[in-house]
Amino acid sequence: MPASASRPRPRVIVTRRLPHAVETRMAELFDVELNLTDTPFTAQQLAQAARDCDVLVPTVTDHVDAAVFAAAAEGGRLKLCANFGVGVDHIDMHAARAAKVAITNTPGVLTDDTADMVMALILSVPRRLAEGEKLVRAGEWQGWSPTGMLGHRITGKRLGIIGMGRIGRAVATRARAFGLTVHYHNRHRLPPEVEGELEATFWADLDAMLARVDFISINCPHTPETHHLIDARRFGLMQRNAYVINAARGEILDENALCEALAAGRIAGAGLDVFEREPFIDPRLLDLPGVVLLPHMGSATFEGRQAMGEKVIANIRVWVDGHRPPDIVLDGWA
Ligand code: DGY
């Protein structure tokens, strides 16, 4: 960890455009290199950046893999990877640990925005919002009809949340206001007072929960343990009227199995804000009914992105001052 006071400003490389005020503040505080074109870095550019800076600020669009950390070790400078985003599954933690690079993220400030987006998908898919909007825009709407655009009711249905961290709990709070009953699967059971407040039922057995609920919302992080957590076998356990909502990470769902389950009518629909190979979208998803697709925009609010930038700056500043950054995910000097 660096000592503070007379040290030169740290060399910081940011891989994507950030909100203007965040970039301006970074330029005041750091010797910063911004990406004014916003073109995602190639693997070579990322490796070069890791060689040339003290602090790298990547986003979910960067694969910060072993080659990047090998380049960092060659350069001998990189000590902190201050991720702009909460998910860190695009960063190779083993390689970071070996290279003694600390990792920070931006938790807490995108919880409500992401939970709102989950709720929007829970409403959009069964109530056919995207289809209705398309119909109106295409000039094909013939007026109200008793049997037109029928969808399925939300109130009284069961929601199964996978991953009851900050975002999962914020989804639960919203869902209760819409009359859904809340069920959840998590590595650890919540304390009784939190469970009581959310009126949430814990399922230790994910398979058993999947077979019982009408909506499944994925809100856990993507880790080796949750990769393809929802696979063909688990789609087979779900009810035919079930909807799957994913605003976490695409890789938690086996997208091929999802397409097959939807095409075969094994489940009723899906609301997806994230995909397995972003920005590539499996063309089958574009043609399937009962599917709402969004471009990874769960945290996309002006307020949220500004707050994420402020967290990145705070993490870097605290590190520069020789202290443990508040949002440490991996301690590079442990
Ligand atoms: C997050 O913060 O993880 C968002 O998905 C964007 O990276």
Give the C-alpha separation, 261 to 290, whole Å: 12
pLDDT of 55 strictly over 60 = yes
Q: Of 15, 60, 167, 306, which is best to mutate to test ligand 1, by the most ligand atoms within 8 angstroms of its C-beta?
A: 60
DSSP string, 70-95: HHHHHHT---EEE-SSS--TTB-HHH
What DSSP string runs through 275-288? -TBTTB--HHHHH-
pLDDT in tens, 142-172: 999 999 999 999 999 999 999 999 999 999 9
Both tokens of residue 273? Answer: 């804000």
Q: How confident is the model at residue 332, as a pLDDT?
A: 79
Q: Which residues, 6+ apart, have CB-to-CB distance to 45 below 8 Å?
A: none
Q: Is 281 exposed, middle or buried (0-12, 13-18, 19+ CB in 10 A)?
A: middle
Smallest CA separation from ligand 1 atom 2, residue: 85
Q: How confident is the model at residue 6 (pLDDT cuts 50, 70, 90)?
A: low
pLDDT digits (tens, 9 = 90+) for 307-316: 999 999 999 9
Q: For the domain 111-293, what is the CATH code? A: 3.40.50.720
pLDDT score of 333: 61
**Is the pLDDT at 231 greater than 50, yes or no?**
yes
Residue 2 above 80 pLDDT? no
Grouping H, G, I as helix, E, B as strand and the rest as coil, residue 236 is helix
Domains 11-109+302-330 and 111-293 share a fold: yes
Q: Is the pLDDT of residue 266 over 70?
A: yes
What value does the mean pLDDT take over residues 123-135? 97
Please report the pLDDT score of residue 66 as a whole number: 98
Domain segments of the chain as ranges: 11-109+302-330, 111-293
- Region 301-306 average pLDDT: 98
Residue among 90, 110, 278 whose CB has most ligand 1 atoms within 8 A, to mutate: 110
- CA 141 to ligand 1 centroid distance, Å: 37
The pLDDT, as a whole number, for residue 1 is: 46
What is the distance between the alpha carbons of residues 10 and 77, in angstroms, rounded to a whole number?
Answer: 10
249 is catalytic: yes
Q: What proportion of the chain, given as a percentage, has pLDDT over 70? A: 97
Instruction: Kindly report, residue by residue over 30-53, the tens digit of the pLDDT.
Output: 999 999 999 999 999 999 999 999
Answer yes or no: are the C-beta atoms of 69 and 101 closer than 8 Å.
yes
**54 CA from centroid of ligand 1 (Å):** 23
Once rounded to an integer, what is the mean pLDDT over residues 18-22? 98
Q: What is the pLDDT of residue 116?
A: 98
Catalytic site residue from 16, 169, 266, 296? 296
Backbone angles phi, psi at 280, to 5 degrees: -70, 135
- The closest-lying atom of ligand 1 relative to the alpha carbon of residue 88 is 3
CA of 60, closest atom in ligand 1: 7
Confidence at residue 95, expressed as pLDDT on a 0 to 100 scale: 97
For residue 3, the model assigns a pLDDT of: 46
* Contact predicate 58/78, CB 8 Å: no
296 is catalytic: yes
Atom 4 of ligand 1: nearest residue by CA position: 85
User: Across all residues in the chain, what is the average pLDDT?
Assistant: 96
Closest approach atom of ligand 1 to CA 59: 7
For 11-109+302-330, CATH gives 3.40.50.720
- The mean pLDDT of 220-244, rounded to a whole number, is 98
